[in-house]
Structure formats: structure tokens, C-alpha cells
Amino acid sequence: MKRRELLAAGAVALAGCAGEQADCGPGSGPAERFDWKLVTTWPPNFPGLGTGVLKLVEMIEAASGGRLRIKVYAAGELVPAFEVFDTVSSGTAEMGHGSAYYWKGKTEAAQLFTAIPFGMTAMEMNGWMYHGGGLELYQELYEQFNLVPFPAGNTGVQMGGWFNREINSLDDLQGLKMRIPGLGGEVLKRAGGTPVNLPGADIFTALQTGSIDATEWIGPYNDVAFGLHQAARYYYYPGWQEPGPVLECTVNRDAWLSLPEDLKAIVGIACSAINDQMTAEFVARNAQSLDKLRAEGQVEIRSFPPEVLDELRRIADEVLQDLVQRDPAAARIHDSFAAYRESAAGWSAISEQAMLNARGG
């Protein structure tokens, strides 16, 4: 609520700085204007993700009175999806939007800022980011790449994925080729599968042609938009691999430092606002799309067997331990993450979890 109030207050307070000759402080001259580019990892106008970026830009431009104008380039329009990090780092584009686990080749620790298998929900991740030291560690890690990151969206708990064969036991994971990025992909690999990293736009064709056997993407809202229900029969839950994945907005550090303080505030507040709004959109639209899938009755919605989840959880712990032992940065981040999760778990057990159990549906 505070972030939404600040956004509204900021927009009103800064409205007077929008004119050609706006005087935004004692002794200041005409307000300087900035024209930036923003590149994303998402297809053009893709529901929730791509459209969320457009809303982010609309908020920034409106609150700045047009002093900061941003042109959005979807994946492939200026650079390929997985080149967003380098493009913003180099300053070819001033801003980017994507997911930190796509950049594990740059620094493995980045994955911890998207999602940790069996980790925290969206609300818990927000608590850690904004009030548990997560954001400070996030920005510290990215500083070496000339980037300033902000949480800028969260899809909430994802689905476990689409499969062209049943998953009844651990044996069914052996040799499974699955599109699954980040730490979840490493867990699948150790469980006997083969992780494949593909941008969203390539998933349907890969699944339909059989070049992969399974894929996780997000949830019913975006999965139906991609037509994944037409390429696979079995839809599994829960999304153990991404229980509360953070989407990020990155800003080239040099470009960031060139902004006056009021525009920096607008960018930060707008990222915080879209972080909330995107989560709300996914909660609403996932429910609607799930109802549609059930009504059509052409796919089987199933839960992973408990023994499969138990083994994946055990492997996930191994993967994390290996990562923190070889990467000091990851160790610091994980220590903070784990401490906050332990604290949050106690409250979640008697608040959200207890209420859902009591509600019974």
C-alpha cells in the first residue's frame, strides 16, 4: 500500500516538472529530457510479461511528465532474448526486463534472485527483497556488471510443467528432455533428466515436434497463450522449481547515475508498483485460464507423486550446498535468503497456510 501511495504522490508532485521550461528546484533551468531503450526477454505484447513491461514504461513516462521516454524492444526486435543482460550492461540499451536466472553464465549467484527450488512464495520474496536485505545484495552483485537491478514483477507459484508422458515415479524422469532453466534445471539433471534452456517463443514448436519431452513455463495464463495445452497432455503441479519467481528490471549504471534524483525515484517506485500489479494480474488470470482448461477437458491436470517431490527436494538441497561451497557471493546471498525463509515460515504457517487450510478450498 505504501508503494502505491508513493507512486501516486510522486506523479502528482512531479507533474509541475513536465513542461518545456519547468523549474524543478532553486536555480534549476529547463528540465532535461532522456530518451532510452528497453530490451526484454519476452515476445512482443505477450500477456502479463510483455504487457507488464509496457505498463511499467507508461507509468515512468506519465510520472516524469515525458522527461524520461522509453522505447520498448521485445525479444528479437533489437537483440535476442538471452542477450538482454549484455546489452544493458554495455549501454547499448539503458534498460532491460527479464529473469536473473538466465544470466547464470555471467554469475551463478544471480539465479538466487529469481527462484530457488522449494524456496519462497511471491509475498515472502517481496518481504526478503524489501525488508530482509535481499535488494541490497541484489544490487551489490550486479554492480560489477555496470547494472542496477530492481524487482519488477512476480508470477506467483508456477505450475510444474507440461509433459508428454506420465510422471508416476522417479524412473519417469530418466532421460526426460525438459525446457527448465536455472537451479531447477540442475535439479532435473541430477535426477536423470536433460535440462534445455529455450526462450519462451521457441517452446511450443520444440514441444510439438518432440525435440523436448516436457516444458515448464509459468502457469495457465501464459501457458494457454502459448498454446502449450495443444502440444502436451499432462499438466503437473506444484511448480517446485519456481515457487515465487522474481522478474527484474535492470538499468545501465552509467545511465542511472545520469538521471536527476526525482527521475531515479520515479523509476524505482514504478518498478515497485509493477511488481505488485503483475502478481495481482497472474493471480486473477491464472484462475480464469485454469477454469478454461478444466472445462475443455482435453488435458489431465495432475499432482506430482509425493515420492518424486521428496527426491527433488533432497536433490535441490544438494545443488544449493554445492553452489554456496564454490561461490562466495552465492553463499552470502543464500545465507540471507535461508535466514529470512526460516523466519517467514513460522509466520506463514499460522497465517496464510493456516487460513488456506481452514478455508478448505
pTM for the full model? 0.90
Tens digits of per-residue pLDDT, 124-155?
999 999 999 999 999 999 999 999 999 999 99
Q: Measure the CA angle with vertex 98, ends 97 and 103; round to 5°.
A: 125
8 A C-beta contact, residue 84 and residue 200: no
CA distance readout (Å), 237 to 48, 165, 199: 20, 14, 21
**Domain residues of the chain, as ranges?**
2-154+244-283
pLDDT tens-place values along the chain, 361 residues long: 445 444 444 544 444 444 443 444 433 446 899 999 999 999 999 999 999 999 999 999 999 999 999 999 999 999 999 999 999 999 999 999 999 999 999 999 999 999 999 999 999 999 999 999 999 999 999 999 999 999 999 999 999 999 999 999 999 999 999 999 999 999 999 999 999 999 999 999 999 999 999 999 999 999 999 999 999 999 999 999 999 999 999 999 999 999 999 999 999 999 999 999 999 999 999 999 999 999 999 999 999 999 999 999 999 999 999 999 999 999 999 999 999 999 999 999 999 999 999 998 6
Residue from 179, 221, 177 nearest 202 by CA: 179
Q: Is 104 helix (H, G, I), strand (E, B) or coil?
A: coil
Which region, left, alpha or beta, applies to residue 100 given φ > 0 means left and ψ of -120 to 50 means alpha? alpha
Of all helices (H) and strands (E), which one includes residue 150?
strand 147-154
Is 2-154+244-283 CATH 3.40.50.1820?
A: no
